[in-house]
Amino acid sequence: MKISKAAAAAAVAVALSLTATACGGSKQDAASDGGASGGAKDKIVVGIKYDQPGLGLKTPDGKYTGFDVDVATYVAKELGYEPNQIEFKQAVSAERENLIANGDVKFVVATYSINDKRKEKVDFAGPYFLAHQDLLVRADDTSITKAEDLNKKKLCSVTGSTSAQNVKTKLAPEADLLEQGGYSECLTGLENKAVDALTTDNSILAGYAAQEKNKGKFKLVGLSLSNENYGIGLKKGDKELQTKINAALKKMVEDGSWQKAVDKNLGPANFKSEPAPQITEGS
């Protein structure tokens, strides 16, 4: 009796450890498939922003909304992944290159402007959106119509962002520039009249202006202070994926989903977006 009990216990232990290792093994396989080859239709990890309303936003109930999210979902679908097979991962600006290079994400759709320095480390597909640096002002403010007007104004942008640097070096070096940690802080200042304008890409501004709580309070000035071509970042040298994503983007524009996504996410701010840009990367 005693012996059989011990044997049973041992058998259970062996069985448990076996299933445990089997579990670990299969999990690892799934992870490497999703991250590397894309051959197995298991899961795809996509990098997006979590904090930009209208573009990439994680809502308190854990859903993802925004134009970038819609583009990512469409592209993933063209690559053969259903929406429930997509796993979104936060890609803050400074970490995008590393996430891609390390293979933590398959691709990144996160207001990612294509430029030469970034191309040293990653490749791009697209562009899928052409944004311009623009200004957001209070809805009743008519004193700012061109970039030079800023030299006597108080301006807000996010610490270290390209837009803030543009203002300091090119657009309006004499403007009184306040750099805040996030755009929400800037909006508070704009509402309190502590600053006169908020500057960054018009797509991001439109996203904030289109938020339910901000409706009617702010307006876009409609300047084109710079050209930002948003691309989809992917691993350097992955020509196959690049071609596939480019094809998906082309299809998205042709079948009207692209325009629909723009209207849905950025439309409420009376934002006139540029037409979909020509795809230039990888051709």
Partner 1 sequence: MFDFLDSGQYDVLGAFWVTVQLTLYSAAGSLIWGTALAGMRVSPVPLLRGFGTAYVNLVRNTPLTLLVIGCSLGLSQTLKINLGGDSFKEIGFRLAVLGLIAYTGTFVCEALRSGINTVPVGQAEAARALGLSFFQVLTLIVLPQAFRAVIAPLANVLIALTKNTTVAATIGVAEAALLMKEMLENEAQAVFAVFAVFALGFVLLTLPTGLLLGWVAKRVAVKR
What's the closest the beta carbon of residue 60 comes to partner 1, in angstroms? 21
What's the closest the beta carbon of residue 259 comes to partner 1, in angstroms? 30
Is 98 or 278 the residue whose CB approaches partner 1 more closely? 98
Q: CB-based burial of residue 71 (10 Å sphere; 0-12 exposed, 13-18 middle, 19+ buried)?
A: buried
CB 215, CB 62: distance < 8 Å: no
Chosen residue from 160, 173, 222, 275 binding partner 1 by CB under 8 A: 160
CB 75, CB 107: distance < 8 Å: yes
Q: Where do we find the tokens 């704009």?
A: 190
Contact flag: residue 106 with partner 1 (CB under 8 A): no
Q: Which helix (H) or strand (E) holds 252?
A: helix 239-254
Is 139 or 194 the residue whose CB approaches partner 1 more closely? 194
Contact flag: residue 33 with partner 1 (CB under 8 A): no
Query: What are the two backbone dihedrals, phi and then psi, of residue 126, each rounded to the nearest 5 degrees?
Result: 110, -145
CB 241, CB 235: distance < 8 Å: yes
Q: Please, which of residues 164-223 interact with partner 1 by CB under 8 A?
A: 164-165, 176-181, 185, 188-189, 192, 194-195
Is 33 or 141 the residue whose CB approaches partner 1 more closely? 141
The CA distance from 90 to 248, in Å, is 23
How does DSSP assign 1-31, residue by residue? -HHHHHHHHHHHHHHHHHHHHHHHHHHHHHH
Contact flag: residue 1 with partner 1 (CB under 8 A): no
Chosen residue from 65, 93, 211, 257 binding partner 1 by CB under 8 A: 93
Q: Which residues bind partner 1 (CB under 8 A)?
A: 93-98, 117-118, 120-121, 154, 159-162, 164-165, 176-181, 185, 188-189, 192, 194-195
